[in-house]
Every structure is written in structure tokens, then in C-alpha cells.
Amino acid sequence: MNPADARARFRDGLVTPTAGWCDGYTQANLISVPRDRAWDFLLFAQRNPKPCPVLDVLDAGAVAGPILDGDVRTDVPLYRVYVDGEQVAEPTDVREWWREDLVSFLIGCSFTFERALGAAGVPVRHVEQGVNVPMYRTSWRCRPAGDVSGPLVVSMRYVPESLVATAVATTARYPAVHGSPVHVGDPRELGVADLDAPDYGDAVASEPGDVPVFWACGVTPQAAVVESRPPLAIAHAPGHMLITDARDEDYLI
């Protein structure tokens, strides 16, 4: 399926996590904040490139851009709306919340490298199991910028021990979409107590010999929104991404 068709389905109301959709096209995290808070958010992203690799920033009020021939207000399957840092709605369309001073950030997503993992022979368990990838707020702190601060959020994929090196090497070639893992192994190093109770997304079943591998996650700006309390922020619901017209190969080193 091509991105325009997928976005049309989501615009028509289909709600689903997007892992595995539109093979070869780049999926993005969305975070939109008012123009007068955008400097701190852009600087936060620049200072934390592993969780917040910026693919594009739209002009204030713009709903499309060079890598999106669509509409950020309607083309994501499910949104989260935050007012003063509190989630107030989880709609499928945010036109009623839209303001002309909103600046939208499109941030790289690890779904981009999942096709490469598969091609390298690394199983992607959450796709196999038909669930959303599990994500966790960690005890690691991002480098703050102005009023914006927050914890690192990570996504987790179980990887067979014999394939951990392959998974690291494969994803390292995609620095624009989180790149190599931030941690391999014991989740307690990240302050994560229970892998079966993710903060976002779904728990995934492991297989014997699997090791948990953690990548920086583009939900990190949402955790920063909760902590930094801008008057309004619009984001995708975790795992329900904006499918862009960019190609995964564009971000391969």
C-alpha cells in the first residue's frame, strides 16, 4: 500500500498501530506545539538526537510539507491531545483543536528499521504477534532545553541472543531513526521494573534465549510535554504513526 492510500484510510477513521504498514516508507512521530514554545522543543530535539531525530519541522500553521503530501490534522490513525501537560482527548482527527500558531515536528520512528531487521534475519516479535511495540519511561534524563525537560522513553524488542550483534549493527546504519540501541539486557539499568507492564503500547511475549534490546523512542517528546506543560500539544498515540512520503533508504548511512 502506498502512503497516500494508507493516510486516506486513517482519515476515514481506521484506528490501528502502523508497524508493518507501507513497506519502505518512513513513519514519523508527531508533536505539535505553539510557536512560542517551539524554540525550546526544537532545541530539546537537537540536544537529544537519539530519541528525537528531527525529519522535518513544518512552518507555523502548516499541515503538510516536503515529506508529507497530506494533512497532519487528519492523517494519523489516533492522536493524543495535551492541555497544560494533561492528556485531555484521544481523537482520530484534531481539526477542532488546531491553531494557526502550531508548529509540527516530524520525528524519526524505529519502525523504519524494522524492515531492515527482518531482512537481516532478526525476528520482530510485536509484528509477529500483531500487537503494538512496548515502550517504557526510563529513569534516564534527557538533556533539557529552556523549559523543556523529561525522561528518555525507549521501545523494546526481544532479540535472540545470537542475533543481538546483527540487530545493533543493522540499526546503527539508521541514525536518523534512533540508530543503534541505547541498552542491551537488564531493564533495571534503565529503571524499568517490569517488561510486561509497558507505559505505552503492548506487552510482548519473549521466546527462550531472547534478550531485551532497547532503542530511544520518539514518544520521548510526549513525556516532555507531560513534564513541561505547554498550554497545548498534539501528538500521535504511541505506535499509531504518521506515514510520510519519504523512503526508508533516504535515512540509510
Walk across the sheet containing 183-184 and list its strands.
Answer: 135-141, 151-160, 210-216, 183-184
Tell me, by CB under 8 A, how many residues bind its own copies. 17
Query: Is 168 among the residues that bind its own copies (CB under 8 A)?
Result: no
Secondary structure (DSSP) of 140-194 = EEPPPBTTB--EEEEEEEEEEGGGHHHHHHHHHT-GGGT-S-SEES-GGGGT---
Chain centroid to CA 34? 20
Query: Is 1 among the residues that bind its own copies (CB under 8 A)?
Result: no
Q: What is the closest distance, in whole angstroms, from the C-beta atom of residue 164 to its own copies in the complex?
A: 20
> Interface residues for its own copies in 58-77 (CB under 8 A)?
59, 66
Query: Is 57 among the residues that bind its own copies (CB under 8 A)?
Result: yes
Contact range with its own copies by CB under 8 A, out of 38-46, 74-82, 194-202, 215-223: 38-46
Contact range with its own copies by CB under 8 A, out of 23-31, 36-44, 108-116, 128-136: 36-44
Query: Is 140 among the residues that bind its own copies (CB under 8 A)?
Result: no
d(CA 67, CA 61): 16
Residue type at 131?
Answer: V
Q: Which three-class secondary structure state does DSSP give residue 7?
A: helix
Residues near its own copies, by CB under 8 A: 38-39, 42-43, 46-47, 54, 56-57, 59, 66, 143, 146, 172-173, 175, 253
